Amino acid sequence: SAAEKDGYDSFMLKEIAEQPKAVADTLLGRLDPALGTLTLGAELGLDPAVLREAEKVVVIACGTAHHAGLVARLAVERWARLPCEVELASEFRYRDPIVGPRTLVVAVSQSGETADTLMALRHAREQGATVLAVCNTNGSTIPRESDAVLYTHAGPEVAVASTKAFLTQLVACLLLALHLGEVRRGPSEELREAARALSRAPEDVAAVLATMEPVRELARGLAHKETVLFLGRHSGHPVALEGALKLKELAYFHAEGFAAGELKHGPIALIEPDLPVIVVVPSPVTAALLHGKIVSNIQEIRARGARTIVLAEEGDEAVAPYADHLIRLPAVPPLIQPLVAAVPLQVFACELATARGNDVDQPRNLAKSVTVE
Ligand code: G6P
């Protein structure tokens, strides 16, 4: 009903707007600017040796949760210097994966009921792995069958396309990576700085939400298109994949996300005049090398006529001349950037789908939770 939507036209719009609070709720009590994430150990209740002695982390998840896992990999490798794989849960058990007692498996699921993820986690536990669930639904099957759980506190998510659950999955995965870093490598200035940046995420997400009117206008202007491509690299690659997934789910577009470095190995053949290409640009300050490379990619596709829609940090003037549309993001460290960069892509897909007359809360053919394999 309208009351349940709090005056918003859709649950999706309501849930997009709730993201600063959802992110703050997921952080609440888990991150102390002075102590880092040390209280997380007590919350998880795992034998500390499991975290200290793990030889690798394997993230299993589906759909949007898989994209959160791709960010988790970057954070676990960077902050904990621990090898991390990310696997589509539906593929995991069918390739006889190498998991055992020294593997920490992280099962990411909003609903906690996704059959593919549940089957993968059962397989991992049969091999002796420790399974930690990152989940939004209290008492659901995946946390019940796991050794430990880190709840995302997004609150109920009704719209089929995930928004606030995704942002809180990112937060939970980043908290977990920080914790692994602290436990395995001890405190460091790098981890403290990451913790400070993460604690500012609610305000950063709110700042992005306050500037979305031009994104909505852009989306309405592109509602007649059929294809949109998304490019990113490093932490921007999962954001590109998620932006494309949102557009598939809601607008029924042929939307694809690519790692920008792969452009020359195939996707550039898709570029044609006026094709919208959305590019997530790394920071020119904290990711200068990748920034330069992606600016060249943008020049290449623009020279072939693409309409470039560029998500770039405040103050990034180098990319501005090549952007047909420029969407500004707050300056945050690379591993935090997905939290702010995903938001305009949610708004874009929601507005574009609405302009096409689609039901954004109940897209065709999709279910919120897929409980069959
Ligand atoms: C379904 C939903 C997706 C979701 C995926 C995983 O396909 O439509 O939005 O990302 O399941 O769901 P989970 O509840 O496991 O996060």
State the pLDDT confidence band at 1, using cuts at 50, 70 and 90: low
Instruction: Say what the pLDDT of residue 219 is.
Output: 98
Q: Which residues does 355 contact at the CB level (< 8 Å), separation at least 6? A: 219, 220, 223
CB atoms within 10 A of CB 24: 18
Report the run of H or E that residue 228 belongs to, with start and end: strand 227-232
The whole-model pTM stands at 0.97
- Rounded distance between C-alpha atoms, residue 175 and residue 141, angstroms: 23
Q: How confident is the model at residue 159 (pLDDT cuts 50, 70, 90)?
A: very high
Ligand 1 pocket test: pick from 106, 145, 149, 370 the residue with the most ligand atoms within 8 Å of its Cβ: 370
Does residue 337 have its Cβ closer than 6 Å to ligand 1?
A: no
Percent of the residues in the chain that have a pLDDT greater than 90, as a whole number: 95
Q: If you take atom 11 of ligand 1, which residue's CA is the nearest one?
A: 369
Of the candidates 94, 97, 91, 88, the one whose C-alpha atom is nearest the C-alpha of residue 62 is: 88
What spatial distance separates the first Cα and last Cα of the chain, rounded to whole Å? 32
Q: Calculate how far, in angstroms, residue 63's C-alpha sits from the geometric centre of ligand 1.
A: 5
Reply yes or no on whether the pLDDT at 64 is more than 80: yes
pLDDT at 19 over 70: yes
Q: What is the pLDDT of residue 33?
A: 72
pLDDT on residue 366 = 93
**Residue 369, ligand 1, Cβ within 6 A:** yes
